[in-house]
Amino acid sequence: MLGAAKTEFNKYSVVLDKLAKQLETAQNTVSEAGVRTRAVSKSLSKVEELEVGVSSAEILGLPLAGETEDDGLTSEED
């Protein structure tokens, strides 16, 4: 009887160690997410309010719809 209890307790110990490792991995993942969240928040805090009606392409300096990168003219103007 004592031998069986000892065997089961050893199995319990192995499972508990496995759980501890999994919890550590989960905690590390949560910490990494916190680091990324702070980095994004820091970047976003530098973003100014955008003008209404300004397209994202204009903000990023991308050609507007219908423009080519070479001439900046729309296809109707060619």
What is the C-alpha to C-alpha distance for residues 62 and 51, in angstroms, rounded to an integer?
A: 17
The sign of the CA dihedral 36, 38, 43, 44 is positive
For the chain, domain boundaries: 1-60
Q: Provide DSSP, 43-60.
A: HHHTPPPPPTT--HHHHH
Q: What's this model's pTM, rounded to 2 decimal places? A: 0.50
Instruction: Name the residue type at position 45.
Output: S
Worst-scoring range by mean pLDDT, 2-6, 20-24, 33-37, 66-70? 66-70
Per-residue pLDDT tens digits for 24-53: 999 999 999 999 999 988 888 777 666 677
pLDDT value at residue 50: 67
